[in-house]
Structure 1
Amino acid sequence: MSRHGEKAREVLLDAAEELFASYGIDAVSNRKIAEHAGTANHSAIKYHFGSRQDLLEAMLQRALADMRRCRAALPSAAGGPQASLRELVTVQALPWVYSFDALGRPSWRAQFLFQARLHPDLPSIVGDSLRDEVLGAAAQGRELKEFEGIPEMVVKSRALILGPMFLGLCAQYERTVNEGRQRGNWESVGYFLVDSMVGMLAAPSTAPADFMGFAEG
């Protein structure tokens, strides 16, 4: 693809990210995205991406690529056989936060991903990675001392909450940054979320867990 073509794709991705974040994915037409990107070609999405689904998948893949670059830049990547729950959550969560921080201002990535997790045809790439890392450790027989005394169904159910919890706060903070109302910085948000998620996952269980059958779905 030519440099001009790559630039045109990036402009369309940026326009779609902003509009989807602001109005919801199903409320924005391909024509509106093209107009917001400043092109007179109303078929630009079809030309550069193919289908609407291809556009959405390209947006998710771009977000994943940015996150993975941030993860590779971390001083060390915890997550080995002896990793603690905090290390597992940190290595999953902080690269996303750093990738949001690396975007220009205003930015729409966290808000778009929050919208995307509600879309039936899209994977929840943030929530799935957080959930799978925690549950994968247990499935592989790794003993996480933080889970001692907590029923397995409670751990599974709490893991399902991680994605909405993480993305909801990141989307909210991104909006305050865009509006010039933020306090602190993205890194402080990241560590607050790590503390919150670890605390929620490892909190004592004080109620019967038999109502949590949704965790099997």
Structure 2
Amino acid sequence: MGQHGDKARETLLDAAEELFARYGIDAVSNRRIAEQAGTANHSAVAYHFGGREELIRTLISRHTEDSNRRRAELAAGLSSDATLHDLLACLILPWVEHLGSLPVPSWRARFIQQIRTVPSMHEVLAGAAVSNPLTEELTRRVEAAAGKMSPTTLYGRSWILGSMVLGVCAEYEAQVQTGVEQANWTGVGYFLIDSCAGMLAAPVTHPGDFLTQPPDVYLL
């Protein structure tokens, strides 16, 4: 595809990400995305992406290469006895730093948050999240460093942490856009690392089994 086609694809992706973030996945039609992108071709999504699901897959994955590269850089500096805090930094910082690199307004965190509310998109998100073997390795090391706890307790805490990280980033993204906050994504990243480490290392005072399957945790 030529330079014009590449630019048209990026314009459609930008339009879709904003609309999905603002209104939700199911509330936005392909025609509305094309109109937001400034094209009179209402079949532009089908032409450039083959369909709606592939558009969403492309949106999810289009920035993961940069995050994966940064994650590999951080992981290369880890020792064999890396602390829980250091391991979490490898997982969280690349995502937060990526958000900080985007122009204002950005819609990335709020788009991912909207995607999580659509059951049919869970498999797409999960596929993107586990496609990097390094992420899987780091997750296993975090689980080991967190200390002994039952699988159900670990699942429950991971569920809370995944929701917390994404929710904080989505809310902060909105506050930066409106000028309520001056962007300090580095500070947000280390706040989240400290908070996640504290949650995982907290004592277990009562065994629970309210969550019996691993939750969906996405740090793209």
For the aligned pair, the TM-score class normalised by the smaller chain equals 0.7 to 0.9
Cα 1:186–1:88, aligned 2, differ >3 Å: closer, same or farther? Answer: same
Corresponding residue for 1:51? Answer: 51
Alignment partner of 2:106: what SS? coil
Matched residue pairs, number?
A: 211
Counterpart amino acid of residue 19 in structure 2 = L
Corresponding residue for 1:195? Answer: 194
Distance 1:171 1:104 in 2: 15
Distance 2:207 2:69 in 1: 42
Q: State which of 137, 156, 165 in structure 1 corresponds to 2:141.
A: 137
Distance 2:40 2:128 in 1: 37
Distance 1:194 1:127 in 2: 22
Corresponding residue for 1:63? Answer: 63
Corresponding residue for 1:37? Answer: 37
Cα 1:3–1:192, aligned 2, differ >3 Å: closer, same or farther? Answer: same
Alpha-carbon deviation of 1:71?
3.3
Corresponding residue for 1:4? Answer: 4
Aligned-pair RMSD on alpha carbons? 2.7
TM-score by length of structure 1 reads 0.85
Matches within 5 A, 1:57-136: 57-71=57-71, 74=73, 77-78=76-77, 81-122=80-121, 123-124=124-125, 128=129, 132=136, 136=140
Corresponding residue for 1:19? Answer: 19
Alpha-carbon deviation of 1:53?
0.3
Could you tell me whether the CA contact under 8 Å between 2:71 and 2:94 is conserved in 1? yes
Distance 2:182 2:201 in 1: 28
Identity score, percent = 47
Alpha-carbon deviation of 1:39?
0.7
Alpha-carbon deviation of 1:5?
0.5
Task: Give the unaligned 5+ runs of structure 1.
Answer: none
Q: Deviations over 1:6-47 (max 9, x none)?
A: 110000000000000000011000000000011111110001
Alignment partner of 1:213: what SS? coil
Alpha-carbon deviation of 1:188?
0.3
Q: Which runs of 4+ in 1 moved over 6 A?
A: none
TM-score by length of structure 2 reads 0.84
Distance 1:165 1:216 in 2: 13
Counterpart amino acid of residue 26 in structure 1 = D
Alpha-carbon deviation of 1:173?
0.2
Cα 1:152–1:107, aligned 2, differ >3 Å: closer, same or farther? Answer: same
Matches within 5 A, 1:133-172: 136-137=140-141, 143-144=144-145, 146-148=146-148, 150-172=149-171
Distance 1:216 1:183 in 2: 33
| Larger RCO (CA within 8 A; separation ≥ 6) | 2
Alignment partner of 2:103: what SS? coil
